[in-house]
Amino acid sequence: MDSKYYVTWEEYLAEHPELEGKPQQAIAPKIEKYEDAMFTFIMDLLL
């Protein structure tokens, strides 16, 4: 999916190399929560 706003954690990490070495266990759950919310929102719009 090409989106300006929706990215997976791996894509986000690739775009922001300054996060390398930061504790992923602290950052990843937040991004994944937004990822899940955005997916649910898009699915609700389609259904």
Q: What is the pLDDT of residues 1-47, one digit of tens each?
A: 577 777 777 888 888 888 777 777 777 788 788 889 999 999 999 98
pTM (2 decimals)? 0.50
Query: How far is it, in rounded angstroms, from Cα 33 to Cα 39?
Result: 10
pLDDT score for 43: 94
pLDDT score for 2: 72
pLDDT score for 1: 59
Q: CA-based diameter of the chain, in Å? A: 40
Indicate the residue type of 5. Answer: Y
C-alpha angle 47/41/36, rounded to 5°? 125
